[in-house]
Copies of this chain bind each other. A is one copy, B any other.
Amino acid sequence: MAEPIAFIDGEYIPANEAKIPILEPTFTKSDVVYDTISSTDDLIFRLDDHLDRFENSCQSMKISPPYDRNEIASILATCIDKTGYRDTCTTLMGTRGPYKDILSRDPRTCQNGLIAVSVPYYYVIPKDKAEQGVNLSIVENKRVPSESVDARVKNFNWMDLTRGLLEAYDKGGDSAILCTPDGKLSEGPGFNIWFSKDGELKTPKGNLLEGITRKTIFELATEMGIKATEIEVYPEDLRNADEAFTSTTAGAVASIIQIDGKPLGNGAPGILTGRINDLYWKKRKDGWHGTPVKSLLN
């Protein structure tokens, strides 16, 4: 039977048995970085891009997992392989690990670790919602600014995003879009934002996670002959767009059809959005940027 699998403390175990000690700063200080990688049809998508970003995140927090890049790729593939699922999302975590003694609070004394966990491929925005289009709320709660925590260092410090999400639910939204403290659009909980205006694609720049799917959409736009740029975006720019969508590893593209309950564009999933999503999945099916899981197994 297929089941989620974790690699933790050097062993592969069922993911629902994998746990973190409550006394570790990995938990009590959320002192951990991560990356989430998808595989479909046993092909890992953009492995090197994800490993590059994961290494950057680790370095930025001075976390040194006890495995090299090739070993991490092999652990990732082994987790996927052991699940029995053909389509997965796998999270790699670089953990601060336990303090040298229970009364210390010095992160330099910690033994850093690596955890990986593979689950069935999932959708940050549920698949049915993504297809019919979502209503996103531009919430009051602000995204943490880069000068406090660099969003490019992928981390579990999600309280601003969770607060934004809860605020969006209260307002009847399916999910949230957060702005930076200076009022620019940033991102939502687990996804980047895109919109088109007069046939050109735009996405917010700065103070956000630079998503691998976001990067992919720049490449798809080039292939489709569509101009795509990252710029400073304000809520009004999004509200006045012709169409808009979210991008993320877990679910790819989802149409945004309303902002704060008001129709965006014609209030239906956009044609350009659909073309991008179709091309994304067609190319993945053709093996684009794909690394076979089997090629990484020991």
Q: A145 — nearest CB in chain B belongs to which residue?
A: B181
Residue A210 interfacial (CB < 8 Å)? no
List the B side residues contacting A123 at CB < 8 Å: 103
Partner of A19, one of B21, B25, B107, B117: B21
A 91-111 contacts with B by CB, 8 A: 91, 93, 102-103, 105, 107-108
CB of A149 within 8 A of CB of B156, answer no
In the complex, how many angstroms separate the beta carbon of A235 from the nearest chain B beta carbon? 16
Residue A62 interfacial (CB < 8 Å)? yes
In the complex, how many angstroms separate the beta carbon of A175 from the nearest chain B beta carbon? 9
Residue A288 interfacial (CB < 8 Å)? no
List the B side residues contacting A23 at CB < 8 Å: 4, 15-16, 18, 117, 119
Interface 9-mer from A44-52, A136-144, A226-234, A279-287: A136-144
Q: A17 — nearest CB in chain B belongs to which residue?
A: B21
In the complex, how many angstroms separate the beta carbon of A201 from the nearest chain B beta carbon? 26
Partner of A157, one of B4, B18, B157, B181: B157
CB of A148 within 8 A of CB of B166, answer no
Query: Interface code A259-298, partner B: CB below 8 Å = 1, 0 otherwise?
Result: 0000000000000000000000000000000000000000
In the complex, how many angstroms separate the beta carbon of A281 from the nearest chain B beta carbon? 19
List the B side residues contacting A158 at CB < 8 Å: 25, 28-31, 157
CB of B148 within 8 A of CB of A160, answer yes
CB of A162 within 8 A of CB of B19, answer no
Partner of A142, one of B91, B120, B147, B169: B147
Residue A115 interfacial (CB < 8 Å)? yes
Residue A241 interfacial (CB < 8 Å)? no
Q: A34 — nearest CB in chain B belongs to which residue?
A: B28
List the B side residues contacting A145 at CB < 8 Å: 142, 144-145, 148, 181
Residue A220 interfacial (CB < 8 Å)? no
CB of A61 within 8 A of CB of B148, answer no
Tell whether A29 pairs with B119 under 8 Å between CB atoms, given A4-B102, A162-B61, A166-B107: no
CB of A149 within 8 A of CB of B159, answer yes
Residue A22 interfacial (CB < 8 Å)? yes
Which among A30, A61, A115, A124 has the highest number of chain B CB atoms within 10 Å?
Answer: A30
Residue A224 interfacial (CB < 8 Å)? no
Bound Cα distance A18, B157 (Å): 22
List the B side residues contacting A141 at CB < 8 Å: 147-148
Supply 18 A–B pairs (Cβ within 8 Å), ascending by A.
Answer: A4-B23, A4-B102, A18-B21, A20-B20, A22-B115, A22-B117, A23-B117, A23-B119, A27-B27, A31-B158, A61-B159, A105-B189, A107-B166, A142-B145, A142-B148, A147-B181, A148-B181, A181-B181
